[in-house]
Amino acid sequence: MDRNTEQPCYEASVRVRYAETDQMGVVHHANYLVWFEIGRVELMRQLGFDYKRMELEDECQIVVVEVSSRYKAPAHYDDELVIRTQVKTLRGFLLKFGYEVIRKADGKLLCTGETTHVVCDKNMQKRTLPEKYASRFRSLSLEHMG
């Protein structure tokens, strides 16, 4: 994610729980994937819809097919973190999000990541994203920014 872009980021906050740390007192890497999901869900809420209703009312699921993350500095127990989420790409049935995880106390960038999703129906068949969602995501997509 380019921190200098004018593309909007949506933010969510979490506080590191003791159970999320390992024997060394560092957050286990798998927790970042959970925080990416928190960021995605919050982005959708801030756009005016929620994932649960999207699944139930429109039989539309956003299935994770690829994840990448780059760990830059450790997070520790009781750190308050900010998850910044952006829509990077929306093309047909593919949707990509970008993430930054930042420690609130000092603004330190701890992790960056991306998730790629395939839009599917309830039978896990690829489908296009309904326009009522696509138009909102498209308005935020890096590919559609001037």
Among 2, 22, 50, 78, the active-site one is 22
User: Roughly what angle, to the nearest 10 degrees, separates helices 51-58 and 30-46?
Assistant: 70
Q: Which is it for strands 80-91 and 94-103: parallel, antiparallel or unpaired?
A: antiparallel
What is the C-alpha to C-alpha distance for residues 107 and 96, in angstroms, rounded to an integer?
Answer: 25
- Other beta carbons within 10 angstroms of residue 2's beta carbon come to 10
Residue with tokens 């308050």, as numbered in its chain: 80
Instruction: Identify whether 22 is a catalytic site residue.
Output: yes
The pair of structure tokens assigned to 112 is 């960056």
**Catalytic annotation, residues:** 22
